Structure 1
Amino acid sequence: MSTDIELKRLRHFVLLAEECNFTRAAERASLSQTAFSRSILTLEERLAVRIFDRGTRSVHLTAAGQQLVVKARQLLEQARDLARDVEGIANAESGELSFGASLMAVDGVLNGLLPELMRLSPRLTVNVEVNHWRQLQQRLEQERIEFFVSYPGFLTDNNDFAVTPLPAIPSSIFCRPGHPLLVAGTQPSPQDLPNFRWAAVQLRDAAAKRMQALFGMPANAPLPLALTSNNLSLLREATLSSDLLLFTWSSWLQADVTNGVIVDLGQRLRPALPPKAMELDFAIVQLQGRTASPAAQRMIDLIKGAATQKIIN
């Protein structure tokens, strides 16, 4: 028996089982009766079993044919399901998408994009892993995610990864109202900041070196970090209830700054920090040489557009 059985012959099998007549079945298949009969004979040869008993006026399924037609219908239904799935995946309308993002990426870009992705891809299942970039790198290498959006780390120099830079994200230093640096009649300077304890999302080495230079610290001096956490609520509450200085990207605290709940100390420093000195690098990271699924490419395009639009605005 040959396992090379074409779907079209299974369709002919089912049609003949339904019509019990070669002429009518051939008409439904849009074939001549000769071509249709040849297709059924070829199928029987490949199955190595007779599936129809032919009479002078009618055709009937054999006992084997009665069993096999059930399987044939199931295979044809599965083939139709596969065709629908392929179309949905190709059009980024269905399937599954798994990608990663840092807290900064979630707050800075993704919060407004997932509803748009759901609108464009209504049958798509999306899995988003929020983590530090090092953990996201591991997940990418394990191919558990297709890409991640975060600080790119040292991956820009690694040929195993394709890194697409995005516009940098503004950051600043924040403190509570009534902080000692805000005492009336005083003007806080960058060199005052190392005199207080700091809070931040986990800092990378490059950011630490930049801060040492910005705030006049010796190159080998440790940063005065008192609290690091990936929990933004914890960082906010600790800053509001103490003299901690919070180093973070600006967007997630914008409402608090506007309402006077928290103070953007970076805007008050004199001399002012150099333009872009506190910006945070931001990128889309993929495995080199891998083709993104249509759904992943749609999400990547949305992220690029949103990141650019935020900078323009």
Structure 2
Amino acid sequence: MADSIDVKRIRHLVLLSEELHFSRAAERANLSQTAFSRSIQTLEADLGVRLFDRDTRSVTLTAAGRQLLARGRELLGSAGRLVAEANHIAKADGGELKFGAGMMAANLYLADTLTTLRRRIPKLMMKVEVNHWHHLIHQLEQEQIEFFVAYTCDPGRLSDPRFAITLLPAKPTSIFCRGDHPLVQQQAPVTREQLLDYPWSSVLFDEVAPARLRDLLDLPEGTSAPLALGCNDLQLLRSTTLGSDSLLFTWRAWLEDDLRSGALRDVGALLQPGFPGGGCNIASAIVCHAGRTLSPIARQAIELISASAGLPLPPG
């Protein structure tokens, strides 16, 4: 077994594990198939284990390959952070930052954060993946982003020991409808059961969202909110709500102008009985790998996001 490993060959291991096809993996590595195959063979010789089983028709990871793949991804992530930190030290006006955000976090926190980072570090390259928690966790595990800030409908995920998770202050959330919606015009109080008579819209949350909404509305077991439209385009959600009888479940802040004008109404405030606990709030969380040192730029971004969310920063 060799005393040192070429990081490029670790990247080739990851590429082949993703493609399970030598030609496609070699193309992604900008190598000929022969050179790529030789790189994998050399890595196997250096490690002293067979990483892939291959024949004329298929390529599959061996048990050893699967076990070492996670470490390989971690090594590539560490190498990337090392390069990013060195770039930041060498020239304070550049570097690269890759992170993720849920739709609510992107709407509430990122405009100020990205503007400040751009002003501080003019040549900084930023890549922001906007998606829901489940997708962003996968991106973090694959070392494709350094951290993310998002909301999850599953409280159990907030105690995952693999990650360092910082909750941000919760934001008011409710169910909204157009100003002349039948639920608003009726004389009687709005009941939870009536909400089920209309299609619902929402940003894309994770797969447990229907069950959590059922709990929020205290609906019978086996009943779920009729989520008919999931979309990460806020203006599309707004326009479909204004133009139809659909109900919109979302955080309140981005609809304030429409609520003040009467174009939209907070139907959640009309519920009798109201939300359990007297209100509905959801909180995003900042998530990164536990026990890892973030790059200086990522630390700056997290400080700015925390400040934008109103989270007190530790002294010093």
- Normalising by the smaller structure, the TM-score range is 0.5 to 0.7
Q: Distance in 1 between matches of 2:110 and 2:262?
A: 26
Aligned-partner residue type, residue 160 of structure 2: N
Residues 114 and 201 of structure 1, relative CA distance in 2, 3 Å threshold:
same
Which has the larger displacement, 183-192 or 170-179? 183-192
Equivalent residue number for residue 302 of structure 2? 300
So what's the TM-score if we normalise by structure 1? 0.65
- 215 and 144 in structure 1: CA distance in 2 versus 1, 3 angstrom threshold: closer
Judged with a 3 Å threshold, the aligned counterparts in structure 2 of structure 1 residues 222 and 185 are, in CA distance, closer, same or farther, namely closer
| Separation in 1, partners of 2:212, 2:87 | 49
Quick one: which amino acid aligns to residue 213 of structure 1? D
Between the aligned partners of 2:225 and 2:88, the Cα distance in structure 1 is: 51
The alignment partner of 1:94 has SS state of: coil
Matches within 5 A, 1:13-162: 86=86, 88-89=88-89, 93-152=93-152, 153=154, 154-162=156-164
Report the secondary structure of 1:162's partner residue: strand
1:303 partner letter: I
Deviations 1:21-66 (Å, cap 9, x if unpaired)?
xxxxxxxxxxxxxxxxxxxxxxxxxxxxxxxxxxxxxxxxxxxxxx
Give the greater-gyration-radius structure (CA).
1
- Which amino acid letter does the alignment assign opposite residue 280 of structure 1? I
Q: 1: CA distance between counterparts of 2:278 and 2:111? A: 24
Unaligned runs of 5+ in 2: 1-84
Query: What is the aligned counterpart of 1:269 among 255, 268, 271?
Result: 271
Q: Which residue of 2 aligns with 1:20?
A: none
Q: Is the 8 A contact 1:89 1:95 kept in 2?
A: no
> Structure 1 residues 184 and 106, CA, compared in 2 at 3 Å: closer, same or farther?
same
- What is the percent sequence identity of the aligned residues? 42
Q: 1:268 to 1:98 in 2, by over 3 A?
A: same
Partner of 2:280: 278
Superposition deviation, residue 210 in structure 1: 3.8
Task: Check the 8 A contact 1:170/1:279 in 2, yes or no.
Answer: yes
The farther-off stretch of 283-292 and 157-166 is 157-166
CA contact under 8 A between 1:191 and 1:216: conserved in structure 2? no
Aligned partners of 1:200 and 1:301: how far apart in 2?
29
Structure 2: distance between partners of 1:168 and 1:234: 25
Aligned-residue offset at 1:286: 0.4
1:213 aligned residue: 215
Whole-angstrom distance in 2 between the partners of 1:189 and 1:92: 57
Q: Aligned-pair distance for 1:166? A: 1.0
Gaps of 5+ in 1: 1-84
Aligned to 1:77: none
2:213–2:224 contact (8 Å) kept in structure 1: no
Tell me by how many angstroms 1:216 deviates: 4.0
TM-score, normalising length from structure 2? Answer: 0.65
Note the C-alpha offset of 1:184.
4.9
**Aligned to 2:124, what secondary structure does the other structure show?**
strand
- Compute the displacement of 1:198 (Å): 1.3
Distance 2:90 2:136 in 1: 26
Task: Give the paired residue count.
Answer: 226
